[in-house]
Amino acid sequence: MPDDTPRPPHRQPWEHGWDPDASRTPGIRRLWLAGALALATIAAGATAIAVNDGATSGKTASPAPPGAPTDSGPGLLSFASPSPGATASSGAAADRSGGARSGTAAPSAAGRASGHPDRPATGPAKSPETKRSSPKPSSGLRSVRSLNHPDRYWHVSDGLVRLDPAGSAAERRDATFKVVKGLAKAGCYSFATADGGYLRHRNFLLRAEHDDGSRLFEQDATFCPRSSAFAGAVMLESVNYPGRYLRHQDFQLKLDPSQNTDLYRADSAFLLVPGLA
């Protein structure tokens, strides 16, 4: 009996000249392709996420807001326009630390001592020293009259100076002096006598003596005018015994410490009048 059972055709080679690989399971190539596509998709997603993260981190690391100076190294500061909040904070910090606000210049140490706006003061400002005014005699010869004994004048008698009436020509001559610039101090007075001597104090008594050229004589013969409690009158203070003034007592001229009494003020007040001689 003839064998009519159809048989499968004999495997033929592919048109490209190579035989199919019968060792592989059908569909594996598609699986590889699908896997490769999935990996590519995952890689693309990872890249996109990385890019987004980088952008986000760049925004987070943005520079400090305006008004906060950033230190770029020693001596290098960049200053931006301050915001209102930063200005208020910095002003408060300056006040707490004792610093000066902007627009207010802090005075330097060198003047606060002189009052100049740019200099610091070493202490409270001192008021200028006031000098007591007093009448000054004009050039020429002068006599010195007592305020509370207006008929008596300085008069040289036996080498001492007393308050005496000046009636005779000799008395008027001995009661007349030349008022010159102070021997020890230019702003004060010295009284020269007719015989070339000067009035000086010694043992606190006023007397007429000749200049011996010593510094002591110059000081003893110098008296500084001070204003009196009486109009037109003058008090005469010793240059080398400050606080002691010429006054008359029992009609004798002497140096006495200042006293706060009416009698002392009257006894130490004198009028410089034109010379009697």
Question: How much is the pLDDT for 43?
Answer: 76
Question: How much is the pLDDT for 117?
Answer: 36
Question: How much is the pLDDT for 236?
Answer: 98
Give the Cα separation of 104 and 25 in Å (integer). Answer: 92
Contact 85, 96 (CB under 8 A): no
Regarding predicted confidence, which is higher, 206 or 57?
A: 206
Question: How much is the pLDDT for 23?
Answer: 55
Regarding predicted confidence, which is higher, 16 or 188?
A: 188
Regarding predicted confidence, which is higher, 121 or 157?
A: 157
Regarding predicted confidence, which is higher, 138 or 198?
A: 198
Question: How much is the pLDDT for 40?
Answer: 77
Question: How much is the pLDDT for 27?
Answer: 59
Contact 190, 181 (CB under 8 A): yes
Q: What is the 3-state secondary structure (H, E, C) of the chain?
A: CCCCCCCCCCCCCCCCCCCCCCCCCCCHHHHHHHHHHHHHHHHHHHHHHHHHHHHHHHHHCCCCCCCCCEECCCCCEECCCCCHHHHHHHHHHHHHHCCCCCCCCCCCHHHHCCCCCCCCCCCCCCCCCCCCCCCCCCCCEEEEEECCCCCCEEEEECCEEEEECCCCHHHHHHCCEEEEECCCCCCCEEEECCCCCEEEEECCEEEEECCCCCHHHHHHCCEEEEECCCCCCEEEEECCCCCEEEEEECCEEEEEECCCCHHHHHHCCEEEEECCC
Over residues 63-79, the mean pLDDT reads 41
126-180: pLDDT as tens digits: 333 334 344 454 457 999 999 999 999 999 999 999 999 999 999 999 999 999 9
Tokens of 168: 């005779």
pLDDT band at 231 (very low <50, low <70, confident <90, very high): very high
pLDDT band at 110 (very low <50, low <70, confident <90, very high): very low
Q: Residue 112: pLDDT above 80?
A: no
Regarding predicted confidence, which is higher, 1 or 40?
A: 40
Question: How much is the pLDDT for 3?
Answer: 56
Percentage of the chain exceeding pLDDT 70: 55
Question: How much is the pLDDT for 41?
Answer: 77
Question: How much is the pLDDT for 35?
Answer: 74
Tokens of 29: 């190539």
Q: Residue 119: pLDDT above 60?
A: no
Question: How much is the pLDDT for 108?
Answer: 42
Q: Residue 185: pLDDT above 90?
A: yes
